[in-house]
Amino acid sequence: MTPVRAPALTEMAATLCFVLVLLIPCAAAGLALINAGLGRFRNAAHSMLSALCVVAVAAVVYFGIGAALQGYAGQPAFALHATGKDWNWIGAGRFFLGGLELGGWSSLAALFGLMSVGVAAIIPLGSGADRWRLGSSCASAILFTAWTYPLFAHWVWGGGWLAQLGFLDSGGSGVIQVTGGLTALSITWILGPRRGKFNPQGMPSALPGHNAVLVLLGCFLAWLGWIGLNGAGVILFTAVEASRTVLVAVNTTLAAGSAALSVAAITRARFGKTDASLCANGWVAGLAAVSAGCGVVRPAAAVIIGLIAGGLVVYSVEWLELHLAVDDPGGSVSVHAVAGLWGLLAAGLLAAITPGKAPWQWLTQLIGIATLLGFVLPLTYGLNWLLNWLSPQRVAVEGERQGLDLYELGAGAYPDFLTHNEDFWQR
């Protein structure tokens, strides 16, 4: 029950970790492209600008507040006394990176957080696409970065109670992907579906993304970014040799690839055509799912994690749309929340290498999953509901018709190109 201390890194490990952290912006860029490409052309600039602003907000707010609350194992924290034990629940660091040794590797975890919280905060933009106001998405990102993310991250990576229990999430399937994905789910509920998505009988119609090339380019960038996320996470939050990152890169690549192929096979078999957007979603779902266990599973297990993550995405996208009337243009809920939860469980089931090889690891993983669904989802829903009550997060009807680019930014993304004018609006 002593708090898990972050391993003291050798200078070599710290250097490698730093370089891996620097790949994380590629994950942000990749998700931004995927969200923009899966949205309508009249919201493309808005989507990209929202991603940039959310990354900016996340960095500034995490620097100001989030890093202090997340803390690191072995650093000051507040604990609740219950069931005869101390449950470490929130960091007690200094705001504005006050304790940061200027120069020196000790701030690596802060840099990791600063960048990865941006990735997590971009995830809901995919779900709110085409109807979420820029100001509201920034405000939502503030709440996420200042409270939701650091709270759960403290529990898992900051020496908190889940870390005390031995919960395993090296690369952030839970901390980054599921927290982002559940916020995305809350946003779809709060904003409601796009006009024209469901007919009066509640049947959904397909509103295809406006640029598949951007979406698939985003997958390549996300691949690179995730190797950074997963590798840096394994070094920072798992007491292993830095060389374990080679395995991490192998596993990350295999999971992404097998997930994409899984979706390709399933969509081909079911619809007679391979669905490019879903394949892209599958690729990222493989990445999201493998993060948790990337440092403790064998490559064959990474393939299995990917295959199942891909299958989950296909069915989850359909199920959410048909049964929960969730309109999620970027597929963020399925890709990040559903596949991320699967990844957390899979890490417990398939871990073959220490740490993480405990016989009841899967049970610990279930406790983390239950916490995400039973606590983080209501929390992030509640915060965004409050925000919506203060100031409606959805753009005005007129803005959705015009497109967010013209309505909120005053200029379209592609002013020189002719586009189809038949209005999906009227359907």
Q: Looking only at residues 12 through 51 of this chain, which bind a second copy when binding is defined by CB under 8 A? A: 12, 14-16, 18-23, 25-26, 28-29, 32-33, 36, 40-42, 44-46, 48-49, 51
Handedness of CA 360, 354, 151, 33 (dihedral sign): negative
Six token digits for residue 297: 């599973």
- Decide if residue 243 touches a second copy (CB under 8 A): yes
**Piece of 216-224, 321-329, 330-338, 382-390 that binds a second copy (CB under 8 A):** 216-224
Among the listed residues 4, 55, 163, 314, the single contact to a second copy using CB under 8 A: 55
Site for a second copy in 259-288 (CB under 8 A): 260-261, 264, 268, 271-277, 279-280, 283
Spatial contact of 57 and 138, defined as CB atoms under 8 Å apart: yes
Instruction: Using CB under 8 A, pick the residue from 75, 145, 245, 364 that binds a second copy.
Output: 245
**Cβ 166 vs Cβ 358: under 8 Å:** yes
What is the torsional sign of CA 70, 76, 78, 84? positive
Task: Give the integer Cα–Cα distance in Å for 233 and 369.
Answer: 19
Please choose, from the candidates 208, 218, 72, the residue with its C-alpha nearest in 3D space to the C-alpha of residue 129: 208
Residue from 182, 159, 153, 156 nearest 62 by CA: 153
Is 7 a binder of a second copy (CB under 8 A)? Answer: no
Of the pair 165, 217, the CB lying nearest a second copy is at 217
CB of 371 to a second copy, least distance (A): 29
Choose the stretch contacting a second copy; rule: CB under 8 A; options: 53-61, 74-82, 149-157, 187-195. Answer: 53-61
d(CA 297, CA 365): 15
Looking at residues 329 to 368 of the shown chain, list those that interact with a second copy (rule: CB under 8 A): 352-353
DSSP string across 69-90: HH--TTS-EEEEEETTEEEEEE
C-alpha pair distances (Å), 56 with each of 151, 197, 273:
20, 31, 39
In this structure, the number of other CB atoms found within 10 A of the CB of residue 84 comes to 5
Which CB atom, from 274 or from 366, has the smaller least distance to a second copy?
274
Q: b/e for 224-258, b at 16 or more Cβ within 10 A? A: bbbbbbbbbbbbbbbebebebbebbbebbbbbbbb
Please pick, from the candidates 83, 202, 418, 426, the single residue that binds a second copy as defined by CB under 8 A: 418
Of 222 and 338, CB closest to a second copy: 222
Question: Which stretch in 162-170, 214-222, 369-377, 393-401 sits in contact with a second copy by CB under 8 A?
Answer: 214-222
> Under rule CB under 8 A, which residues in 286-325 are in contact with a second copy?
298-300, 303
CA-to-CA distance for 427 and 411, rounded, in angstroms? 25
Beta carbon of residue 377, minimum distance to a second copy (angstroms, whole number): 28
Q: Is 139 in the site for a second copy (CB under 8 A)?
A: no
**CB nearer a second copy, residue 42 or residue 197:** 42
Task: Give yes or no for residue 197 binding a second copy (CB under 8 A).
Answer: no
Which residue in the block uniquely carries the two structure tokens 């996340």? 58
Among 131, 154, 244, 394, binds a second copy (CB under 8 A): 244
- Counting contacts by CB under 8 A, is residue 398 touching a second copy? no
